[in-house]
Chain A
Amino acid sequence: MPVTLVDDPRPWRLLLIIPLAVSFVLFAFPQAYFIAASFHENLGYGRIGEEWTLANYVRVFTDPLYVGSLLRTIGLSALSASICLAIGFPVSYVIARMTSRRKATLVGLLVAAMFITPVVKDVGLIILLSQNGVVNQALSVFSKPLGWLGSEAGVVVGLVHFTLPLIVLLLGTVISTVPLSLEEAAHAHGASRARVFYGVIIPIVKPGMIAATLMVFNLAMGAFTTPALLGGGRVLTFPILIQRSVILDVDYPFAASLSTILLVSVFCLNVLAGYLMSRQGRFRRMASPAPAAVSTFVKKAA
């Protein structure tokens, strides 16, 4: 008779088969399908040819519209991720170091803000940023009205607005892994406020900080609603071009090749960042914001 182990994990692993099957059907299969579609010819009216071809990719990389759009998307996403980091870090630091009951309220508001659909957020921004909106009225002392809507600046504002709650939550988890006593030890041994920040906090949270910024960057790379509404059709980011070739041109293989390029470039940029990070030397007690960590941060606050 085989010995039954009380701690045998194998029966429980069987439960994983269901989520595995679901993700395969909903994620891996369609993904594989559109990647395959990108290597075929468009026959018009949504039909896809039989022949294998690289023509779609040649078209993307020889047309300045698409190359320019890819670079613009990367640029705008990087810019908004950097702005998010700069604005988000101090906010998350303050929240992470809070001990009062107000912390729970603030984290709750952040989570709520994160789940508001970008459409709603962008409508608000459109009102604020319009020609005679509040922002232009406030700036009227210094300059004539600025055309926020339909400009790259407007899109960046929208992307920052869209991703800021997330980066604050992510950074909050990372910062709360740094014990306050480390800061106190640094102060006690002669470090100024700035030295504590750049010499202690930043080096310790750096891996987590980069990971959080990358997540925000990835969200911005794939964002459609915000550039569509705030760009007003004049800021052509990659997701907007994908949508156009699907809806306006009904060119599925070409849309698929654009999607594949977006997917691969985001993937490559993340791998590159990870590689640069790992070259930074030995990191101890690595602080990185896993989704589970976010939920414990939220729980702790509550």
Chain B
Amino acid sequence: MARVTLENLAKWYGGQNVLDIVSIDVKEGEFLTLLGPSGCGKTTTLRMVAGFVSPDTGRVLFNGTDMTRTPTQKRRLGMVFQDYALFPHLNVADNVGFALRAAGMPKADISKRVRELLALIRLPAVGERFPSELSGGQQQRVAIARALAHTPAVLLMDEPLGALDLKLREAMQHELAVIQQKLGITTIYVTHDQEEALSLSNRIALMRRGKIEQLGTPREIYRNPATPFAAFFLGKINFVPGKLQEKQAGAYRISTSKGMLLCPTKDERKFSLGDQVLVAVRPEHLRIAEVASQNGSNVLPGRVVRQKFTGKVVQYEVRVDEMTSFIVDGTMDRSIESDAPVQVAWDVSATYLYPYEDDQEIGVGVASTEPQVVEVTGKHEANTLSESLAMT
């Protein structure tokens, strides 16, 4: 087991900066997830730890020893791939024992260790079978056993559950968590699946465009997202643009197109009066109310334009103005008619505030009106459509 330190890693491919100064300190026995959309640099970072990619600048250290120029096979790694990468010409026992044979362990010890690992992954009877005779889930468990056989310094996993279907993925998540806790191996895990990241990790490094957007425990990032993108990528979020009008005791007053909103002041970020800002709130903190104003709450008027039944909750889409829609998590026991005027309310304490920046990827800026333009259902929307067309 090792502590893994990534120091100022950067990489350019053909003039493009795919990794831009990434530094992470992975503690001994920690489960760290590199999370982000495709092309964010998470896989490149993992491959640098593995030694498949050399960083242009920066260092990779295991327990303080510089490994940047150490070849992959000398790094004592365990690695799990999305496509399992089991050796098709070797049976399961030989696959699991691969690293042990490469290290020159005596045969008797290898077969003993292989039996232990097959018991660990709860597949004690498949040793003689070939990978192609196993199901996807079984193959991935064998791949995990192979990665753990030689007690690696670091376990690297590159979207290991990506090829499995939903139910199996959930079962495997649980199994992975149990095995990792039992063995306490330092693990770096790459995924684009936020739920997987939230449920498995000790800490998450949320990445975007080759940079770390936020590094913290799942709770920290979810409760206190440092950037609009962090708020957008983990969980769901609604944004309203506005302008900072006034600083009160413990709260900012922000003017939006439909009224004033309050936002708690936090120490880490300073805003000045007149700044363009982005107010953000999660759907689960919103409620649909009939009464116009409540103490300690932010309220915006709107109209329900659509509702989506997802099983656990009903998601209401509430149009606040031409540019802004809110997603509100509601329950089934109250039915709200479409096109009904409503008030969207939430506690001031659940409000996040960010400096405003156009970012179409997360639905802030010009492109955010587009989905509403496409779905025309009534007279009200027909007006919006023509307005939007006039705008463009």
Question: Which chain A residues border B52 with CB–CB below 8 Å?
Answer: 184, 187
Kindly provide the distance from the CB of B66 to the nearest chain A CB, expressed in whole angstroms.
19
Kindly provide the distance from the CB of B176 to the nearest chain A CB, expressed in whole angstroms.
18
Q: Given A181-B83, A284-B131, A284-B132, A188 and B156 touching (CB < 8 A)?
A: yes
Kindly provide the distance from the CB of A280 to the nearest chain B CB, expressed in whole angstroms.
10
Question: Which chain A residues border B81 with CB–CB below 8 Å?
Answer: 181, 184-185
- At the interface, yes or no: B204 with Cβ under 8 Å from chain A? no
Q: Given A282-B130, A284-B130, A284-B132, A189 and B85 touching (CB < 8 A)?
A: no
Kindly provide the distance from the CB of B142 to the nearest chain A CB, expressed in whole angstroms.
12
- At the interface, yes or no: B354 with Cβ under 8 Å from chain A? no
Question: Which chain A residues border B150 with CB–CB below 8 Å?
Answer: 189-190
Question: Which chain A residues border B51 with CB–CB below 8 Å?
Answer: 187
Kindly provide the distance from the CB of B163 to the nearest chain A CB, expressed in whole angstroms.
12
B99 in contact with A190 (CB, 8 Å): yes
Question: Which chain A residues border B93 with CB–CB below 8 Å?
Answer: none
Residue among A184, A187, A189 making CB contact with B78, cutoff 8 Å: A189
- At the interface, yes or no: B88 with Cβ under 8 Å from chain A? yes
A185 in contact with B79 (CB, 8 Å): yes
Chain A, interface size category, equals 20 to 34
Bitwise, B20-62 to A at CB < 8 A (1) or not (0) is 0000000000000000000000000000001110000000000
- At the interface, yes or no: B177 with Cβ under 8 Å from chain A? no
Q: Given A189-B147, A282-B130, A184 and B102 touching (CB < 8 A)?
A: no
- At the interface, yes or no: B89 with Cβ under 8 Å from chain A? yes
Bitwise, B50-94 to A at CB < 8 A (1) or not (0) is 111000000000000000000111011111010101111100000
B72 in contact with A284 (CB, 8 Å): no
Question: Which chain A residues border B102 with CB–CB below 8 Å?
Answer: 186, 189-192, 195
For residues 183 through 213 of chain A, which have their beta carbon under 8 Å from a beta carbon of chain B? Answer: 184-192, 195, 200, 203-204
Question: Which chain A residues border B78 with CB–CB below 8 Å?
Answer: 188-189
Question: Which chain A residues border B72 with CB–CB below 8 Å?
Answer: 184, 187-188
- At the interface, yes or no: A285 with Cβ under 8 Å from chain B? yes
Chain B, interface size category, equals 20 to 34
B89 in contact with A204 (CB, 8 Å): yes
Question: Which chain B residues border A187 with CB–CB below 8 Å?
Answer: 51-52, 71-73
C-alpha spacing A202/B103, complex, angstroms: 20
Q: Given A203-B89, A284-B132, A188 and B83 touching (CB < 8 A)?
A: no
Kindly provide the distance from the CB of B240 to the nearest chain A CB, expressed in whole angstroms.
45
Kindly provide the distance from the CB of A24 to the nearest chain B CB, expressed in whole angstroms.
39
Closest residue of chain A to B82 (Cβ to Cβ) is A181
C-alpha spacing A204/B86, complex, angstroms: 12
Bitwise, A245-289 to B at CB < 8 A (1) or not (0) is 000000000000000000000000000000000000011110000
Kindly provide the distance from the CB of A288 to the nearest chain B CB, expressed in whole angstroms.
14
C-alpha spacing A181/B72, complex, angstroms: 13
- At the interface, yes or no: B146 with Cβ under 8 Å from chain A? yes
Closest residue of chain B to A282 (Cβ to Cβ) is B130
Residue among B79, B86, B103, B131 making CB contact with A188, cutoff 8 Å: B79
Residue among A179, A204, A284 making CB contact with B83, cutoff 8 Å: A179
C-alpha spacing A254/B146, complex, angstroms: 63
- At the interface, yes or no: B346 with Cβ under 8 Å from chain A? no
- At the interface, yes or no: B98 with Cβ under 8 Å from chain A? yes
C-alpha spacing A282/B52, complex, angstroms: 32
Q: Given A190-B73, A190-B76, A185 and B130 touching (CB < 8 A)?
A: no
Residue among A185, A192, A195, A203 making CB contact with B85, cutoff 8 Å: A185
C-alpha spacing A181/B52, complex, angstroms: 11
For residues 74 through 130 of chain B, which have their beta carbon under 8 Å from a beta carbon of chain A? Answer: 75-79, 81, 83, 85-89, 98-99, 102-103, 130
C-alpha spacing A24/B66, complex, angstroms: 70
C-alpha spacing A187/B73, complex, angstroms: 5
Closest residue of chain B to A185 (Cβ to Cβ) is B85
B77 in contact with A283 (CB, 8 Å): no
- At the interface, yes or no: A182 with Cβ under 8 Å from chain B? yes
A186 in contact with B87 (CB, 8 Å): yes
In addition to A184-B50, A187-B73, A188-B77, 17 A-B residue pairs with Cβ atoms within 8 Å of each other are A179-B83, A181-B83, A184-B81, A185-B86, A188-B50, A188-B156, A189-B102, A189-B147, A190-B98, A190-B99, A191-B102, A200-B87, A200-B89, A204-B89, A282-B130, A285-B88, A285-B132
User: What are 7 A-B pairs at a CB distance below 8 A?
Assistant: A182-B88, A184-B72, A186-B98, A188-B77, A188-B156, A189-B99, A284-B130
